[in-house]
Amino acid sequence: MSTARLTQKEMTESEQRELKTLLDRARIAHGRTLTNAEANHIKKEYIDKLMAQRELAAKQARKLKKQQAYKPDSESTFSWSASTPARGRR
């Protein structure tokens, strides 16, 4: 089950700021403006990291939902008298 690649528009504001910060740090480290290939490489790595984090969070949420799912009591049996009125139908 392959998920679609995350785009910058789908990122939250804080994630977009973090990406911009990473690009600025790389630009400062190189001492020049980044080429498209360098910028795309940084973006790709960051998006891969984000997708992995989101997949892990989704997996944990599914696990928690499964644990909290309603499980009927296997010891008790269905009681017909509990679901029908005692005086019968009038």
Convert the pLDDT of each residue in 14-71 to its tens digit. 999 999 999 999 999 999 999 999 999 999 999 999 999 999 999 999 999 988 887 7
Can you tell me the distance from the alpha carbon of 50 to that of 21, in angstroms, rounded to the nearest whole number?
Answer: 15
Rg (CA), the chain: 27
DSSP 76: S
Q: For the packed helices 13-30 and 36-67, what is the interaxial angle rounded to 10 degrees?
A: 150
The whole model's pTM is what?
0.68
